[in-house]
């Protein structure tokens, strides 16, 4: 049985082991695959694993042997699910592997904006402290998080973990949404999007990118926010209208932004947010701790092993599959 990993490097640049996967099938593992090379590399494969390499309708239609797609991520919009379902291809994903790592990154970005650790470290290295007439100095306003309000847009696993950590900092957590969740713990409030954006000192985005959320952060939404507010996005870049955010940061309409995602990744050199005032950007690394990647790889392999044994685990198109789901165990 031929198994092809189309883009294994981001998941495993060499610090994890592919051996448990190799034990399941005849593996070919590529660090990266350009779109024009997908069909060449995937020809005859019954199993494909992909992280960000897209598997569109025409690509899937040209792969009649394909029976299983493992997405080594939580989001699976890179796969044409409707076409996979028509071909009776099982598609799995890996939910919740990065909850703690992504939540940690929210506060790494937030604390950098509040304390400017990097700025002050560089100042010390440049000799500014040694030459300073006072026993301490600071080059930016320093912000204490205690008693501030964090608005959490999207209250799934990550949003809930962010609320937990925020409360440990002494912050007030308020969840934004169209419908009040039934399981709000003590100390976490609910409000409409308008209410939360108008009252929060920090807004952290944790909602999926859908037609209804694309461009959620636009000029009108930013106008609702406090000028002293900070925006954090570790979810999807397309949630933000980048020109509008850059203008707000550069004009002082918004105090700061911490972003681990952008609309185009890698970004164009002309991206309006690169170089924007008080904007901290990291290269989509919130998920990439070794611990998180290890869980991701382990679960992706477990999903495949379950399918090979005739069972379904983390199947995103399970309810729509046509006919009998074939696996080697059923043959």
Q: Hey, which residues are catalytic here?
A: 236, 265, 284
Both tokens of residue 287?
């998920």
How far is it, in rounded angstroms, from Cα 72 to Cα 94? 6
Residues paired with 79 in a beta bridge: 55
Radius of gyration of the chain (CA): 23
CB atoms within 10 A of CB 314: 20
The token pair at 128 is 């500014």
Calpha distance 218→239 (Å, rounded): 9
Tokens of 228: 């002293």
Q: What is the spatial distance between Cα 71 and Cα 68, in angstroms, rounded to a whole number? A: 10
């Amino acid at each position: 049985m031929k198994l092809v990993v189309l883009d294994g490097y981001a998941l495993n640049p060499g610090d994890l082991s592919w051996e448990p996967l190799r034990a399941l099938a005849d593996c070919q593992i590529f660090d990266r695959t350009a779109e024009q090379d997908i069909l060449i590399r995937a020809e005859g494969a019954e199993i494909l694993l992909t992280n960000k390499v897209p598997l569109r309708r025409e690509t899937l239609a040209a792969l009649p042997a394909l029976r299983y797609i493992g997405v080594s991520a939580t989001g699976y919009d890179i796969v044409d699910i409707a076409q996979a379902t028509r071909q009776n291809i099982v598609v799995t994903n890996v939910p919740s592997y990065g909850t703690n790592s992504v939540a940690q990154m929210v506060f790494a970005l937030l604390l950098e904006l509040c304390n400017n650790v990097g700025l002050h470290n560089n100042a010390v290295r440049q000799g500014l402290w040694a030459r300073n007439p006072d026993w301490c100095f600071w080059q930016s306003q320093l912000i204490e998080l205690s008693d501030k309000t964090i608005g959490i847009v999207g209250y799934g696993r990550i949003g809930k973990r962010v609320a937990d950590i925020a409360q440990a900092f002494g912050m007030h957590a308020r969840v934004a949404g169209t419908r009040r969740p039934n399981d709000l713990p003590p100390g976490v409030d609910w409000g409409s999007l308008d209410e939360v954006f108008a009252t929060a000192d920090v807004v952290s985005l944790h909602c999926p990118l859908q037609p209804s959320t694309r461009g959620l952060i636009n000029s009108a939404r930013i106008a609702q926010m406090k000028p002293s507010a900070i925006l954090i996005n570790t979810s999807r870049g397309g949630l933000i209208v980048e020109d509008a955010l850059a203008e707000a940061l550069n004009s002082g309409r918004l105090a700061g932004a911490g972003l681990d995602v952008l609309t185009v990744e890698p970004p164009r050199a002309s991206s309006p947010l690169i170089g924007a005032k008080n904007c901290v950007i990291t290269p989509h690394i919130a998920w990439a701790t070794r611990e998180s990647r290890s869980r991701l790889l382990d679960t992706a392999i477990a999903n495949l092993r379950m399918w090979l044994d005739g069972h379904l685990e983390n199947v995103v198109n399970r309810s729509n599959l046509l006919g009998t789901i074939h696996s080697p165990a059923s043959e």
